[in-house]
């Protein structure tokens, strides 16, 4: 997968979460949120990062 694709980080995030790496997953969700194409997408990714930081 090309890292330049808009959803590359979100896809990586999903795979790391499935593997159980919650610290990296939270960081990747935050990174994906900064690159989100829309406000609803950004908000969703921010909520996911927050969920994993608790």
Nearest in space to 34 (alpha carbons), one of 49, 19, 21, 23: 49
For the chain, how many structural domains are there in total?
A: 1
- Local structure of residue 37 (DSSP, 8 states): S
Q: Does residue 3 form part of some domain?
A: no
Expressed as residue numbers, the domain containing 41 is 8-53
Summarised one tens digit per residue, pLDDT across range 22-48 is 999 999 999 888 888 889 989 999 999
Task: Give the per-residue pLDDT at 6.
Answer: 62
Task: Give the per-residue pLDDT at 32.
Answer: 86
Q: Does residue 17 form part of some domain?
A: yes
**18 Cβ contact partners less than 8 Å away, ≥ 6 residues apart:** none
Q: Does residue 35 form part of some domain?
A: yes
Summarised one tens digit per residue, pLDDT across range 1-28 is 666 666 788 788 889 999 999 999 999 9
Q: Does residue 12 form part of some domain?
A: yes
């Amino acid at each position: 997968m090309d890292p330049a694709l808009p959803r590359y980080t979100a896809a990586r995030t999903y795979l790391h979460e499935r593997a159980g790496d919650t610290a990296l997953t939270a960081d990747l969700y935050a990174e994906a949120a900064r690159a989100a194409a829309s406000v609803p997408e950004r908000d969703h990714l921010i909520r996911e990062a927050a969920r994993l930081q608790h």
